[in-house]
Structure 1
């Protein structure tokens, strides 16, 4: 159905009781800031066999990053290597990379890429770390690798928009605690990095760009009147507030990056997620169907390891007796069951009457 009239993007604002405000404002490509000066960037190149399908994307991405060097920026490329490759990982200058003859071989996941970067880096300070990869490494075993959290924000760039099913916990923590994120192209990652980099100059405000919308989180007292922006103001119990609350949680994760392992910090983030009914990196939505499950969840929520996920490989899942697993029908299923039972009663009743009529006629 065609729209009755063009939809005009609007800015939205939510003021929360804790004294924080979230503003979501549409932006255009021309409003994204340019690098204020020379940058020092690290590019971690995944050379797994699956990346051969993204060879063209790799060439385009490296060419785009090479354009930054004309303005004085420095780009180091970390060439990762699978254990089956027959060569060690290496770090070279971007100008030394022969993009036409990169050999993709073996397989690696995101955790291995970050571990190899950490091992190769000899204390060089970077403004950002861009990991060029695809979405195929999620199921590769990380063998319990300890992934350090880099000082610079880690941006996982899944070329061609080929996102994985997810990340292992250590990799996810490295991305979040470093202040990085996930993107489908170098363009997207660079735009989000530059906006975040600009905001880092003001510790009271956090900014992020998602799908053409600039999300800003700041103290309500610091919000300046924007006369030229048409704002739609939402109350904290409005449906839009859930989206804004997620931005507050993500902003707080950035501010508390060094304390994300502390239970007090995690409990604060979790409490807001429960209040707004949203799923975050520290909360889930679980359907509880009986009191026993509610009591079990309450006990688990009070344990010291309540934010540490339990993980079981396929084949290691504990087997339960077949009859111990029960299901609770949804309301629609109850209706179908009732209709089926009613039809069965009607059928048996009619059949009995037909038999009675037949005997009487004889």
Structure 2
């Protein structure tokens, strides 16, 4: 290992599956360069799903806070994150703390670093919906990190412009593309070399042969309760078509599972399955004609494979996809969701317009750009 005096110590902090997906290309890039001493700290805000990504990416944590608790409140989680991450920073004394996105882990990581006057670099900076309750609490988490960070790695010019509008110094903002495209390209190549990595969906492929597959994900806090019930109603209506099948990896949150099990269990052409590891989720994106989601990351990933995305939210912090035509906001009204799905299924021109739209989120070289920006920042 390069001596500490010859390199920068970078503490990379994440805790959820989406963060792990978007951060492993950065970990790979920095660990492959002798100018950095890389330390990885995970909060395990998501446990099993996080571990799956780390295993496939070949990353081990130097610090594992293991903070996931059943029905944990946001304030309890935030308090535990601040003290836990602070202790790690006191031990490691990093030159940089790198966080990603908008989670409680990212926000607390930035706060703990700020309390110690450690520089923060923010991967996927500048996303804004301009509504502090959609997505909630992520919109405010991002704004807090944006106030603290010394380097802002914006995925798009739109994100960079949002930061400039908030008077963030222009020389700290860099458009890098989104690391999720790096990750998707990496895992797609890996599956091509090792097909067994995503072989667990073969049974569903056989079961739904000849049907048009719609992939579904839903887990947003703002949709808990009535929103999830409305989404389930829409799925039941869509499933009445004999030419479709819906594959729905159900989030482990009991608020999601209760509703979906009650409303959708037993439908022949709806597969409620366990959350997928990253290779299998990439395979689902490949199998699906359409993605129906309230996730942020899917809005970026699916267009990279030419798949239209219908977003079951009232606002998105990724307006680039909507502007480019790769994604459409449909909210949680069942009538609207069903209408938009049927349009894509039945109108070839409407489908083609979304499927062929340019993906605005990156070219797969974001992590190397981030590495060089950290080098240049010193």
TM-score by length of 1: 0.29
Structure with greater Cα Rg: 1
Q: Which has the higher helix share?
A: 2
TM-score by length of 2: 0.28
